Amino acid sequence: MNTRHAVVVTVLGEVTVVASGDAITGLYFPHHWYMPSEASLGTRVAVADDALLDRARAQLGEYLDGGRTVFDLPTATDGDPLQERVWAVLNEIPFGETTTYGAIAERLGNKALAQSVGRAVGHNPISVIVPCHRVVGSDGRLTGYAGGLKRKQTLLELEETDEEESARLF
């Protein structure tokens, strides 16, 4: 598989975007909690020289500028069965809404899975595109984010349209 990556400068700082074949497989911030090894990122390429990575860069920029609410990119993840189920639920959380780890666990059929859901959310390899930033604590407070809580807060603020709507839970 042709794995490669590019570093993209955004308002959130540098972001490493990884692609394998025809799918985006990673989006990581500097000091990301679960950054994969440098070798697993593949060859570093200029973003403009790779159509898929350039499309991801453009869509990420549109999102961060407030002009995009949904990403239209092919993605691929390689998690265990629970992680894949959690990441699928993350993809269903609408722009501007949040949910909790417990609510995701309930959707998966077992509220006792909340801590496991938290671990899966934290290991999401495609931050922002798979919107793990939309998951908050049971009391509505911001909790861990592999890219840093300040970035999580910025992403949630970007998605706020008004107080009433931003308070809705998915």
In three state form, how does the secondary structure of 107-167 look? HCCCHHHHHHHHHHHHCCCECCCCCHHHEECCCCCCCCCCCCHHHHHHHHHHHCCCHHHHC
**CA–CA separation, 143 vs 99, rounded Å?**
12
132 is catalytic: yes
How many angstroms separate the CA atoms of 30 and 12, rounded?
10
Stated as kind and residue range, the H or E segment containing 103 is helix 101-107
Secondary structure class of 74 (helix, strand, coil): coil
Of the candidates 132, 135, 136, 156, the residue annotated as catalytic is 132
Q: What are phi and psi of 44, to 5 degrees?
A: -80, 130
**DSSP secondary-structure letter at 80?**
-
Active site residues: 132
